[in-house]
Amino acid sequence: MSGKGRSAKFFYVRILKKVNFFLFSKKNRELLIFLFFLFISASFWFMQTLNDTYDYEFVVSLRVKNVPEKMVITSNIPTTVRFTVRDKGTVLLNYMFGQSFYPITLDWNDYYNGSNKIVIPQSDLLKSIKGQLMTSTKVVTLKSEAIDVIFTKGESKKIPVKLQAGIVTGKQYYLSQILIKPDSVLVYAPKKLLDSLKIAYTSDIQIHAVSDTTKIQIPLQHIHGAKFVPETVLVQLNTDIYMEKSLDVPIIGINFPTNKSLKTFPSKVTVTFQTGLLQSKHITSADFKVITDYNELMKEGRVVLHIQSEPRGIKNLRMSPKSVDFLIETK
């Protein structure tokens, strides 16, 4: 025998001796006996436990067949039905790991009555479930009530989308633009409901600390009996950062007689305001109009300045100086 063969034989003999020692040494033999009786006890306990009665919830799929192609279903049909049964543990284990439940399949033609709504009673769901259960099994609860299926034969119209949201920007930021894509959606519904729908509102959401361009997909608010296409819209929030800007604006006199003219010292005032960084590039002194009224000047004896017009989107507008010297000249 070669040296290699003797080494392998010697190795296996050593392994067998170690296994023999482990199994038949007094200490390990007692451990194995203990484990054996523990296994027997656990088996009896498990079998006894399975003979007890338990409640367990199952889920089965729900399908509606033979829906005409011209019908547009506008209400949500549940795709599953949840129910709780009571029986011995052995039976429940069979349901869980052995017997699988077939989907509940209902025929549209069994319920259609010519209107815009069919009703699938709870009793029909219960009947389909019980038909798959053993006689010893009791249905304790069925979580689905009667199912209303509302539909239309194609009546639809386009309505605008309106955002419902609480939006809080970060410090020094403001919302410069809100874009909704698409800005209108197609809605299907029975005629009476369709006529009453004017706006598709988004779900109410809260967005905090917006400081950069933010895009978010928002579902439309559900209306029972109506179906929106698409059912979600993309909302884009564009932000800008506030900055302060000052401009010199000339003072204009109004309601002066044709033979009189006004001179003020200084002839211009400085308007200071806050606006967005992007918007500030497009705002000039021509966007403001600072006036004083001749009738008010005669009554008060002094120039009273008013900002008659200003661009949209600015805040914290102020003017300096607030009073000026004046001279009325006769032409």
CB atoms within 10 A of CB 62: 19
| Of residues 331, 329, 238, 322, the one with CA closest to residue 279 | 238
What CATH code is carried by the domain that includes residue 256?
2.170.120.30
pLDDT value at residue 323: 86
d(CA 223, CA 203): 11
pLDDT value at residue 122: 93
**Residue 291 bridge partners (DSSP):** 252, 306
230 in the same domain as 166: yes
| Measured CA angle at 166 (ends 165, 169), to 5 deg | 120
CB under 8 Å to 243, separation ≥6 — which residues? 274, 275, 276, 277, 280
248 in the same domain as 216: no
Domain stops at, among 152, 182, 205: 152
Element counts in the chain: helices (H) and strands (E): 7, 22
247 in the same domain as 236: no
114 in the same domain as 168: no
pLDDT value at residue 33: 62
pLDDT value at residue 50: 61
pLDDT value at residue 14: 64
Alpha-carbon 270 to chain mean position? 47
60 in the same domain as 140: yes
Domain stops at, among 241, 257, 285: 241
141 in the same domain as 65: yes
Structure tokens at 8: 């392998």
Residue 263, domain extent = 243-330
326 in the same domain as 247: yes
Q: How many domains does the chain have?
A: 3
- Per-residue pLDDT of the chain (331 residues), as tens digits, is 545 555 555 555 566 665 555 555 555 666 666 666 666 655 556 566 667 888 999 999 999 999 988 889 998 889 999 999 999 888 888 888 877 789 999 999 999 988 899 999 999 999 999 999 999 999 999 988 889 999 998 889 999 999 998 999 988 888 888 999 999 999 999 999 999 999 999 999 999 989 899 999 999 999 999 999 999 999 999 999 989 999 999 999 999 998 999 999 999 999 999 999 888 999 999 999 999 999 999 888 888 899 999 998 898 999 999 889 999 888 7
Q: Is the peptide bond before 311 cis (omega within 30 degrees of 0)?
A: no
